[in-house]
Amino acid sequence: MLLDAGAVSPFPDHLDFDEAATLPCAALTAWRAVAEEAAIGPGQTLLVQGTGGVSLFALQFAKARGAHVIITSSSDEKLERARGLGADFTINYKANPEWSKEVRRLTDGRGADAVIEVGGADTLAESMKAAAVGGSIVVIGILSGAAASFPLPVLFGNNLRVAGISVGNRSQFEAMCCDIAAYRIRPVIDRTFDIARVQDALRRMEGGRHFGKIVLRF
């Protein structure tokens, strides 16, 4: 394959091609959110929603930076697996629809320093209530719907910063790869499917059974 040199980039040596395939979208978006937009550092608390590709990368990048991570999921079994990846606190968002209260309880009333917002319609208002004064909400996804309403007094009263991001650029990709290499981070791959089984892969994603990334092999 002949490619423009500006359109390709090396990936960390400890990863195979399946793992590297997970980097350009989900990982890069998560890295930019954690490292640049939220600028999460040691001792801070990051809230991530669900156990999909973006959120698990955000969990891994935040733990590498010495942060505490609270993760939500609809599944207790997935929450247990997230603990295995370093999550400090877990919340089942089905059992706790007002999970912002639980985030406040877990942070001694303070709230999370930053929230990785992937839920959209059903989660944005809770994310704002879960954020600490001066906290950041990095808006990435719309898993539960694209039109959201949220409490404006919480936005200005708590001096929140809401930033929408779309993936990242080449230099951010290279910086992310340095972190992945330095911390020996391995992408969480749920399953790998041959392209001939693309329908099975889509059904697995549609059913919400996946934990991390689904890889298609061409």
Ligand X SMILES: NC(=O)c1ccc[n+]([C@@H]2O[C@H](COP(=O)([O-])OP(=O)(O)OC[C@H]3O[C@@H](n4cnc5c(N)ncnc54)[C@H](OP(=O)(O)O)[C@@H]3O)[C@@H](O)[C@H]2O)c1
Which residues of the chain form contacts with ligand X (CB under 6 A)?
Answer: 25-26, 29, 49-55, 72-75, 78, 93, 118-119, 122-123, 140-144, 165-167, 205, 208
Of 153 and 180, nearer to ligand X (C-beta) is: 180
- Confirm if 177 and 11 have CB atoms less than 8 A apart: yes
What token pair was written down for 76?
């207790």
C-beta nearest to ligand X: residue: 52
DSSP state of 216: E
Q: What is the sign, positive or negative, of the torsion defined by CA atoms of 113, 119, 124, 125?
A: negative
Minimum CB separation from ligand X for residue 210, in Å?
6
Of 177 and 201, nearer to ligand X (C-beta) is: 201
Of 81 and 110, nearer to ligand X (C-beta) is: 81
Of 13 and 199, nearer to ligand X (C-beta) is: 199
Minimum CB separation from ligand X for residue 67, in Å?
19
Q: For residue 187, give every residue at least 6 positions away whose Cβ sits within 8 Å of its Cβ, in sequence order, or none.
A: 15, 19, 22, 23, 27, 57, 212, 213
- Picking from 169, 131, 167, the residue whose alpha carbon sits closest to that of residue 45 is 131
Minimum CB separation from ligand X for residue 187, in Å?
12
